Amino acid sequence: MVSWGPMPSPLRIRVLLAKDMPFGPGKADLLEAIRETGSIAAAGRRMGMSYQRAWDLVSAMNGHFHAPVVAPAKGGARGGGSALTPFGEEVLAAYREIEALAAAAAAERLDWLRRQMALPPG
């Protein structure tokens, strides 16, 4: 089998939870980055987006769900930050499970499609 380097994730799942509420890999990655950094600003920087864009996405998610997914974290010596709420952790886990289930269900057909591709030039 020919290898072309690391394969990107074979599926990028975006679910439309409501007419104006898509939830996909970008929002899930933002939630993970907030969990890891403890900050909306740091999460946005890590993802190459402005604080305003990251804040707007968090604000939209908080407004679309029945409970917030991100909340201010208690301040310490360096001030506050942000953290996923327990509900936010559940939302993220549910989305990641949807991704895993979809990838498992589609694996055989994705393999078939890959085998049908022409070799890259060079």
Give the global pTM. Answer: 0.82
How many other CB atoms are there within 10 angstroms of residue 26's CB atom? Answer: 14
C-alpha to C-alpha distances, 68 to 8, 71, 98, 99, 100, nearest whole angstrom = 31, 7, 21, 22, 24
70-72 and 21-23 strand pairing: unpaired
Highest CATH level, class, for 23-115: mainly alpha
pLDDT band at 2 (very low <50, low <70, confident <90, very high): very low
Average pLDDT of the residues of the chain: 87
Q: What is the pLDDT of residue 1?
A: 40
- pLDDT digit string (tens) for 44-57? 999 999 999 999 99
pLDDT recorded at residue 4: 44
Q: Please say if the pLDDT value at position 5 is more than 60.
A: no
